[in-house]
Amino acid sequence: MPNILDVLQNRSSKRAFLPKPVPKEIQEEILRYAQFTPSGANMQPWITYAISNEELLTKIGNAIIETMNSGVENDQFIQYYPLKWINPYKKRRVETGAGLYEMMGVDRKDSATRTKMWHDNFRWFGAKTVFFVFTRSELIDGAQGALIDCGAYMQSIMLAAEHFGLKSCPQGSTTEFGKIVARELGVDENLSLLYSVVIGYEDRDAKINGYRPKRVDISESVTFLD
Ligand SMILES: Cc1cc2nc3c(=O)[nH]c(=O)nc-3n(C[C@H](O)[C@H](O)[C@H](O)COP(=O)(O)O)c2cc1C
């Protein structure tokens, strides 16, 4: 059994999955352990829809892709990415994207292939299970704490998935079309979609799954004051 540090180091986002459903009992176990995520005042503000219904996942994906194709940039509850990109974050974003396309042999100017690769998000990278994580809209009305809690919950889900030999991909791409996801799922009007996490069995033969973007050294993000 790998230790927690190995799990932290070995988790990585996967973008090609086998068409093999994740048994409901395993989904429940993952979500039961993720429930131990700490949250401010023990609010536990995450509200999760675990969807393995293929028809429904296809319907959500189609609705998002149709919306994108009609020129709509987003239909969202929260703005995930910065409106103004500053360095070094802009540089890291560009490098991470470029690294992936380079590994896949896709020219940066080949916008058709890049668009198709982005659409793969809404085909759930071939996975059969997606967790959509919402929170009550009132909790993020003028406050951001629930977003912090739900971010920690995301990592808990992904680490728990590793325990069961499953891989994952967190998705801010669905955040951008959160209102469409909410509508297609028919959730209560007072819920806001924050993100989704694709869960499944990794296709180990898929080249894309070999991509491991590097991290900057902690000297670039940590200050020790002794
Ligand atoms: C909140 C969040 C949203 C993300 N959204 C997407 C997404 O929509 N599509 C995607 O392919 N990867 C997405 N990612 C994955 C990141 O690109 C990835 O975590 C990052 O490049 C580091 O790589 P790693 O997860 O393999 O370590 C997201 C990650 C996070 C944490």
- pLDDT, tens digit (0-9, with 9 covering 90-100), for 1-17: 679 999 999 999 999 99
Number of compact structural domains in the chain: 1
| Full residue range of the structural domain in which residue 42 is found | 4-208
Does any domain span residue 213? no
Nearest residue (by CA) to ligand 1, atom 10, is 171
Does any domain span residue 14? yes
> Residue 111 maps to which CATH number?
3.40.109.10
Mutate to test the pocket of ligand 1, among 171, 199, 211 (most ligand atoms within 8 A of CB): 171
Structure token pair of residue 153: 């919950």
Looking from the CA of residue 96, the nearest atom of ligand 1 is 21
CA of 132 to the centre of ligand 1 (A): 15
End-to-end CA distance of the chain: 36
Does any domain span residue 221? no
pLDDT tens for residues 22-73?
999 999 999 999 999 999 999 999 999 999 999 999 999 999 999 999 999 9
CA of 138 to the centre of ligand 1 (A): 27
Does any domain span residue 215? no
CA of 135 to the centre of ligand 1 (A): 20
Residue type, 30: I
Element (H, E) at 200: strand 191-200
Structure token pair of residue 85: 């990109």
CA-closest candidate to residue 86, choices 94, 78, 98: 94
Instruction: Please give the model's pTM, rounded to 2 decimal places.
Output: 0.98
Do residues 77 and 178 lie in contact, with contact meaning Cβ atoms separated by under 8 Å? Answer: yes
Does any domain span residue 224? no
